[in-house]
Structure 1
Amino acid sequence: MMNAASRRWLLISFVVLATTLIGQDRPKAQQMPEGTDLSIELVDPKVLRVCADPRNMPFSNEKGEGIENKLAELFAAKLQKRLDYMYFPQATGFVKMTLGAHRCDVIMGFPQGDDLVQGTNPYYRTAYALVAKQGSGLDDVATLEDARLKGKRIGIVAGTPPATNMAINGLMMNAKPYPLMIDTRIDSSAMAMINDLTSGQIDAAVLWGPMAGYYAKQANPPLHVMPLVKETSGPKLVFRIGMGVRPADQNWKRMLNRLIQENQPAINKILIDFGVPLLDESDRPITAETAAKQP
């Protein structure tokens, strides 16, 4: 079984970054234009049916504990719909068996630019990040080009975009690779990497931002997370994340875009509560204070 988070990493490695679309003074999500009929597009217009992985923390699980579970709860409340899930492992065939089969109506947390679905406007922007112990001398390293990383043992998930950047900078010789393909019922590459970092088996870890922030926050003491936004060679490691809907569902997409625009401060709060390192369009961190402000 493919690790659901790893599938995201694979998608992100091929994603084409697009310009963020910003709506201008749109009406409230509940106030759809007269004559709009979502019953043609949705499985059940009275229910927010979310396609999700049942075992993919920090994103989603069957207990409703993940980032995307909490965002779905917010969206369902704002849309005044009942929330329901179609759970399916995010392995090969996930889109076909869920959204494509009309068993649900939206995939949360989809990288912008992937052509498997039609994407909404993004609701957050984040990056791969370097995780290190506080006071280690690496906790302010902001790029894989930093000379302080030379000779260090760095954890990296094999096949992800930052592995290319590490190779360019001569960091793979001492790197500790973690598998991209795992059975999430019994294993987690991200958790294993963080455990190795706290025990001293590696000096730093490179992880996708939401995973880095979530597991670093859980560590005791908490670890430092630095988004890798200053790379000058190799793939860019910053990506926009939105939701995925069926290509034909134009009214549904417009409703979700308005929902995102109108609730960005609440969305930001949920993401920051989970430790996600949020970035604005200038790669500056979005803090708890700035997250509460309307963009």
Structure 2
Amino acid sequence: MTNTARLGCLLVSLLAVTALLVGREAARAQSNDSNSDLSIELVDPKVLRVCADPRNLPFSNEKGEGFENKLAELFAAKLQKKLDYMYFPEAIGFVRVTLGSHRCDVIMGFPQGDELAQGTNPYYRTSYALIAKPGSGLDDVETLEDARLKGKHIGIIAGTPPATNMAVAGLMANAKPYPLMIDTRVDSSVEAMIDDLNSGQIDAAVLWGPMAGFYAKKSNPPLHVTLLVKEASGPQFIYRIGMGVRPADQNWKRQLNRLIQENQPEINRILLDFGIPLLDENNQPISAEATTKSP
């Protein structure tokens, strides 16, 4: 073998070894979420900083009584981080003022498909619901097209998806709308609607599932909740809910996805304790006995 040939073989060997070492380092870096990566993405890598509404039960409040507060406590314990909040009313500008301004690092409840932030994998699935008093004759109504709703006074949050179906079904003439955009620190459309239902001012209410389940459970006697999963037309009623992070925070998103996957049974138990109605992929309710199922 000539000297030139030997030199060529040596160069090939060196390149192969170098490629192997680089590949191993790349694989090692990819398999770990390094502190340096998270320090770039997070406000403070040692603190789980949550963006939350100060008065928006059942989701969150300043006293830490909402289910998103409990989920944040669970995640902070798993991450071995201190928990802190940046509170701001969840209305227009919420994402921009909180997550977008780097005042916090995660929104605990974020609908899949919303483009204001990057969503994690979903950790629950639910839908809008119809609430009525037990024995009212509306207990087993499953769609907004049911003839038994004709002429009834139905509460609806203005501008939410079910309002479209109610209009098509001819239910808006007797409906009572409640404002969508409010300052939750001083007002609550949902509490006003539930009070009206309990006092008889309205016959039924249409609400987002978590609110419906939570307030129905709190009422005395408890109200009846029917998830509206059989609507044949109109806008979407069923949503997957994950968590929201900044678009650039890829390592943080992957870490949250792992936490969701590893703790899904405990997440389900927290949600069910709050009365949140959960759906599987076949639109069947997830019961307390089946908390190992993923939404």
Q: TM range, normalised to the smaller chain? A: 0.7 to 0.9
Alignment match, 1:3: none
**Cα-to-partner distance string for 1:248-280 (whole Å, 9 max, x where unaligned):** 111110010011011111001111111111101
Give the corresponding residue for 2:237. 237
Q: Larger % of helix: which?
A: 2
2:286 is equivalent to residue 277 of structure 1: no
Corresponding residue number in structure 1 for 2:24: none
* Cα distance change on mapping 1:34 and 1:156 into 2, 3 Å: closer
* One-letter identity of the residue aligned with 1:69: N
Q: Among the aligned pairs, what percent are the same residue?
A: 80
Closer, same or farther: CA 44–290 of 1 in aligned 2, 3 Å? same
TM-score by length of 2: 0.86
Which residues in structure 2 correspond to 1:1-295 (within 5 Å)? 33-34=31-32, 36=34, 37-292=37-292
Task: Provide Cα deviations, 1:185-210, integer angstroms capped at 9, x if missing partner.
Answer: 33211111111111111111000111
Shift of 1:291: 1.7
In structure 1, how many angstroms separate the alpha carbons of the residues matched to 2:126 and 2:214? 13
Gaps of 5+ in 2: 1-29
Greater RCO (Cα-Cα under 8 Å, separation 6 or more): 1
Partner residue in 1 for 2:3: none
Asked if 1 retains the 8 angstrom alpha-carbon contact of 2:89 and 2:184, the reply is no
TM-score where L is the length of structure 1: 0.86
Q: Which residue pairs with 1:14 in the alignment?
A: none
Question: Is the CA contact 2:126–2:279 (under 8 Å) kept in the aligned structure 1?
Answer: yes
Q: 1:294 to 1:59 in 2, by over 3 A?
A: closer
Inter-partner Cα distance in structure 1 for 2:237 and 2:109: 17
Q: Which residue of the partner structure matches residue 29 of structure 1?
A: none
Unaligned runs of 5+ in 1: 1-31
CA contact (8 A) 1:128 1:208 kept: yes
Q: Is contact 1:86–1:104 with CA below 8 Å preserved after alignment?
A: yes
SS at 1:165's partner residue?
A: helix
Q: Which structure: larger Rg?
A: 2
What is the deviation of 1:88?
Answer: 1.6
Aligned residues: 264
Aligned residue identity for 1:260: I
